[in-house]
Chain A
Amino acid sequence: MLTITHIFYLIGALLVGTAVLDARDRRWSVAGFWAILAVPFLVGDQIRDAAKAGTRWPAQAMGLGVLALALLASLHRGRPVDDGDPVAREASAARLGNRLFVPALMIPALTGALVLDAKYVHSIATRWIDPGSNTLIALGLASVVALVAALWTTRARPIHGLTEGRRLIDTMGWPLVLPMMLATLGGVFAATHVGDAIAKLVAMVISTDSRLACLLAYGLGMVVFTTIMGNAFAAFPVMTAGIGLPLLVKGHGADPAALGALGMLTGYCGTLLTPMAANFNIVPAILLELRDEYGVIRAQWPTAVILMSVNLVLMDLLVFR
C-alpha cells in the first residue's frame, strides 16, 4: 500500500539532493539547513515511534535540529541562483507556447481526479492508496506525473528535475519552512495552554454567549494581529487556538474548515493594510519608484476594508450551517 511516508521519502530525497548541490558549491550553512530539514521526512516515523515507546532522545535531537534551523536561517537569506540563458528561454517559450502550462495544470487536475476516484469510484488507480490521507498522497503522485510530463514536453534531462527544484528551493530559502515552523509554534502553544489563557482574557472583554461577538473578535483579531506582525500565517495559530477553536468551534458549533479558510483570508486583508508586509507593500513602491512609500497601501486599502466586511458576513453565513 502506498502511504504518506513514501511521499515524505520523495521530499526528503529532494532536500538531500539540494543539500548536496549546495555543498558542492561550498555554501555550507545553506547545505546544512536543507540537510537538517530532510531529517523529519526520512526518519520522522521512527522518531514518532520511538517517542511512543518511551525513548525520548530522537525527538529531543530533532528539537535541537529545530533550534539549529532557526539559527542557520538568521544567518542566511534566500539568494537567486543562476536561471540559465534568457535568449534560449524566449525561443523555447515561442516554440512550446501554451503547451508549457499543461504539466503545471496537471498537478491540480490529477490531484482532483485521484481524490474523487478514491472517494466515489474506487478504481484500480486508487485502491492501493492509503485512504487516511489520500488527498496528500494524490498531490504527491500528481507532482511526480507532472514532472515526467514537464520533462517530456520540454525535452529536459531528468537531472533537471533536481537542479531546477534546487534552484527554486534555494531562491526561496528559509521562508519555505516558515509555515511549518509556525504550525510547530501552534503545537507548542496548545501544549502550554496559551489558547485557553487567551480565551479566558477574551471572555473577560466580550460576552462569549454571543455568536456574533465571538466571530467579530476572531475576524478583527486576525486583521489586527496580521497588521502588527505583517504575516497572517503567524496570526493564525494564535487567534485560532485562542478564539476560533475554544469559543467558535467548541462553543458555538462552527465548521472548522470554513472558519479556518475564511479566518486566514480575513487576515490577508490585514496584510494589504500594513507596511510590516514589506515584500508586498513597500518593496513594490521602491521598484516602481513611487514618491510615496505608502502609495501601494493607499491604492489597496479600500479593497481590503470592503473585502474584510464581506468576509465577516460570509463567515456568519457559511460557518454556522
Chain B
Amino acid sequence: MTTYWPLLGVAVVIAGFALKRNPMLVVVTAGLVSGIAAGKSPAELLELLGSEFVKNRTLLLYTLTLPVIGVLERAGLRERARAWILGFARLTLARLLIAYLALRQLLSMLGLINVAGHPQTVRPLLAPMCEATATRTFGGLDDEARERVRALAAATDNVGVFFGEDVFLAFGAVLLIQTFYDGQGIHLEPTSIALWALPTAIAAFAIHAVRIVVFQLRLERRLARAQVVAPRPPPPAPPAPGTEG
C-alpha cells in the first residue's frame, strides 16, 4: 500500500522555489515535511538527514578547483579572457556571437565557468561590441534592433555556459547525478555521465549558431526595408544621422 502523504515534501519544494524562499531552507523543510508525513520520529529524521548529507559530500569536490582558479584570476585570468573576446571585434555580428558561443562553451567544458558571465563579460564587452559591429555593418540601429541585439548577446552567454558546463566532470550537475544514483545502489563513473552531455553540447551550438545567422539576416532585411520606407530628408539636406532616438 503506497501512501501519498510524503508527496507533501515535493509540494514544499515547488511552492518554496516558486515563492523565492531561500533554497537551502526550502530543501531542508521539504525533507522534514516528507519525513514527518512518512511517520518518522524526530530522532530518526535527524539521523537520516545527517547520514544522507555525509553520503553526498563528494558533491563539494569541485571546491578543490577554486584555489587554482582564484590564484589565476588574481594574476589576470579574466583580463586575458576579455582580451580574447576583444580580438573578435573585427568580425560581423553573427560571427562575433558564434565565436563567443564557442569560446564560452569550451571554457565551461574545461571548468572555467565563472571567467565569463553577464556582469563579467556580457555587459562590459559583448553587448557593446555587438552594437558597435551591427551599427558599422548596417549603418545605424533603431531602439528595437538595439534592444534585440543586446538580448541575443545575453541569451548566447546563457546557452554557452549551460551546454558547456555539464561536460566538465567536476561540475555540480555531473556529481549530483552520480551521487543520486549512488544512493540508489547504481554506481557510475563521473566520466561516463559527462560524456553523454557532449551530443547535446554540439546540438546546442549548432541550433543557436543557426539562429544567430537567421537573426542577422532578418535584421539586415528589416533595417533595409525601414530605410526604404522611412521618410528620408530631401537629398540636398546635410546627411542626417541614421538613428532615430
* Residues of chain B within 8 A of A285, CB atoms compared: 151, 154
* Residues of chain A within 8 A of B58, CB atoms compared: 4, 133, 136
Least CB separation from A90: chain B residue:
B79
Which of A194, A201, A285 neighbours the largest number of chain B CB atoms within 10 Å of its CB? A194
In the A-B complex, the 9 residue pairs with the closest CB atoms: A164-B70, A93-B76, A62-B50, A63-B46, A165-B67, A187-B52, A63-B50, A300-B155, A261-B196
Which residues of A from 37 to 62 have beta carbons under 8 Å from B? 37, 40-41, 44, 47-48, 51, 56, 58-62
**Which segment of B5-13, B133-141, B236-244 sits at the interface?**
B5-13
Q: Which of B9, B50, B76 is within 8 Å of A60, CB to CB?
A: B50
Minimum Cβ distance to chain A for residue B86 (Å): 12
* Residues of chain B within 8 A of A136, CB atoms compared: 58, 61, 190
* Residues of chain B within 8 A of A15, CB atoms compared: 63
* Residues of chain A within 8 A of B116, CB atoms compared: none
Asked whether B9 lies within 8 Å of A188 as measured between CB atoms, the reply is yes
Asked whether A184 lies within 8 Å of B53 as measured between CB atoms, the reply is yes
Interface membership of B173, Cβ < 8 A: yes
Interface of chain B: mostly helix, strand, loop or mixed: helix
Give chain A's interface residue range (CB within 8 Å of chain B). Answer: 35 or more
Minimum Cβ distance to chain A for residue B25 (Å): 5
Interface membership of A191, Cβ < 8 A: yes
Interface membership of A32, Cβ < 8 A: no
Asked whether A11 lies within 8 Å of B60 as measured between CB atoms, the reply is yes
Interface membership of B142, Cβ < 8 A: no
* Residues of chain A within 8 A of B194, CB atoms compared: 261
Interface membership of B227, Cβ < 8 A: no
Asked whether A310 lies within 8 Å of B151 as measured between CB atoms, the reply is no
Q: Considering the chains assembled together, what is the distance between the CA atoms of A260 and B189 in angstroms?
A: 12
Q: Which of A183, A225, A292, A295 is within 8 Å of B176, CB to CB?
A: A183
Chain A 110-135: CB-based contact to B (< 8 A → 1; otherwise 0): 01100100000000000000000101
Interface membership of B127, Cβ < 8 A: yes
Asked whether A179 lies within 8 Å of B176 as measured between CB atoms, the reply is yes
Q: Which of A185, A236, A303 is within 8 Å of B155, CB to CB?
A: A303
Give chain B's interface residue range (CB within 8 Å of chain A). Answer: 35 or more
Minimum Cβ distance to chain A for residue B142 (Å): 13
Q: Which of A40, A150, A236, A271 is within 8 Å of B177, CB to CB?
A: A236
**Which segment of B88-96, B162-170, B216-224 sits at the interface?**
B162-170
Q: Which of A135, A276, A295 is within 8 Å of B191, CB to CB?
A: A135
Asked whether A194 lies within 8 Å of B196 as measured between CB atoms, the reply is no
Residues of B within 8 A of A (CB): 2-4, 6-7, 9-10, 13-14, 17-18, 20-25, 27-31, 34-35, 37-38, 40, 43, 45-80, 83, 109-112, 114, 118-119, 122-123, 127, 147-148, 150-155, 157-159, 162-163, 166, 168-170, 172-177, 179-181, 183-184, 186, 188-197, 199-200, 203-204, 207-208, 211
| 30 A-B pairs with C-beta separation under 8 A | A56-B43, A58-B50, A63-B50, A63-B51, A67-B28, A69-B28, A89-B73, A108-B110, A115-B191, A135-B190, A146-B65, A146-B68, A153-B75, A164-B67, A168-B70, A168-B73, A178-B24, A182-B27, A183-B183, A189-B34, A190-B183, A201-B7, A228-B18, A231-B23, A284-B118, A284-B157, A288-B154, A295-B150, A296-B154, A311-B200
Asked whether B150 lies within 8 Å of A238 as measured between CB atoms, the reply is no
Q: Considering the chains assembled together, what is the distance between the CA atoms of A134 and B220 in angstroms?
A: 53
Asked whether A184 lies within 8 Å of B158 as measured between CB atoms, the reply is no
Asked whether B80 lies within 8 Å of A143 as measured between CB atoms, the reply is no
Which residues of A from 159 to 216 have beta carbons under 8 Å from B? 160-169, 174-194, 196-198, 200-201
* Residues of chain A within 8 A of B77, CB atoms compared: 93, 100-101, 104
Asked whether B64 lies within 8 Å of A188 as measured between CB atoms, the reply is no
* Residues of chain B within 8 A of A248, CB atoms compared: none
Q: Considering the chains assembled together, what is the distance between the CA atoms of A154 and B77 in angstroms?
A: 10
Q: Considering the chains assembled together, what is the distance between the CA atoms of A283 and B157 in angstroms?
A: 13
* Residues of chain A within 8 A of B62, CB atoms compared: 139
Asked whether A185 lies within 8 Å of B71 as measured between CB atoms, the reply is no
* Residues of chain B within 8 A of A8, CB atoms compared: 57
* Residues of chain A within 8 A of B34, CB atoms compared: 188-189, 192, 194
